[in-house]
């Protein structure tokens, strides 16, 4: 499984209440976004992953903000099917590799990309995308390093996602715009599904969000 090919957008989800996990995941899947990254930023994150893995079979749930080998182990035990890190070290990389599930180590420089390619890793998270140079930087990497593919995350929304997705070295983007805080607070899952469906229409690179 390549996380980069599941959907044009990977929702980056911060879950404060684990009871929201299943209806939220169902809304995203119904909207056409099956790959869901639950960030390990809250105490509810791993419980949320367990619930989604158990009750939303069409979801491909993973964890993000993975920064330690212990989080790798806990994520996989909870049912995570992929791992995403904001950066990487050799220790973290080996733990992710040993986990047996796909992973996207984070990079923001050409040297980091080359180092991962040396280690046999070709799929990466580009983070923080906008702050690290955005589409111009990724275009510059495509020439000398065409074998690297990216999921840019950080500062990406409905307006600029199509520009990223039009690049040959971008498989998908990560974002939160289909998860507005007021909709989550109101548990307005119908709105989340509608926004997810609009994001899923970006599957054709260079498409537009409605």
Q: Name the one residue in this structure whose structure tokens are 């969000």.
A: 209
Structure tokens belonging to residue 1 = 């499984």
Catalytic residue among 16, 37, 70, 163: 37
Cis-peptide into 92, omega within 30 deg: no
Catalytic residue among 70, 123, 125, 201: 125
Q: φ, ψ for residue 122 (rounded to 5)?
A: -115, -15
139 tagged catalytic? no
Query: Among 78, 62, 73, 124, which residue's Cα sits nearest to residue 99?
Result: 73
125 tagged catalytic? yes
Structure tokens belonging to residue 89 = 């070290």
Show which residues are catalytic: 37, 125
């Amino acid at each position: 499984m390549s996380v980069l090919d599941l959907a044009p957008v990977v929702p980056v989800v911060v879950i404060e209440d684990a009871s929201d996990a299943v209806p939220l995941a169902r809304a995203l899947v119904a909207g056409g976004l099956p790959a869901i990254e639950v960030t390990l930023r809250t105490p509810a994150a791993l419980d949320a992953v367990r619930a989604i893995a158990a009750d939303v079979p069409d979801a491909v749930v993973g964890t993000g903000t993975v920064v330690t080998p212990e989080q790798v182990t806990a994520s996989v035990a909870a049912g995570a099917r992929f791992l995403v890190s904001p950066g990487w070290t050799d220790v973290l990389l080996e733990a992710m590799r040993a986990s047996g599930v796909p992973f996207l180590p984070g990079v923001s420089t050409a040297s980091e990309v080359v180092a991962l390619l040396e280690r046999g890793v070709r799929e990466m998270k580009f983070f923080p995308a906008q702050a690290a140079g955005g589409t111009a930087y990724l275009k510059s990497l495509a020439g000398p390093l065409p074998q690297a593919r990216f999921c840019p995350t950080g500062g990406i929304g409905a307006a600029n996602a199509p520009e990223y997705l039009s690049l040959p070295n971008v498989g998908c983007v990560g974002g939160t715009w289909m998860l507005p805080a007021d909709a989550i607070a109101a548990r307005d899952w119908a709105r989340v599904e509608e926004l997810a469906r609009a994001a899923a229409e970006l599957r054709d690179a260079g498409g537009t969000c409605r």
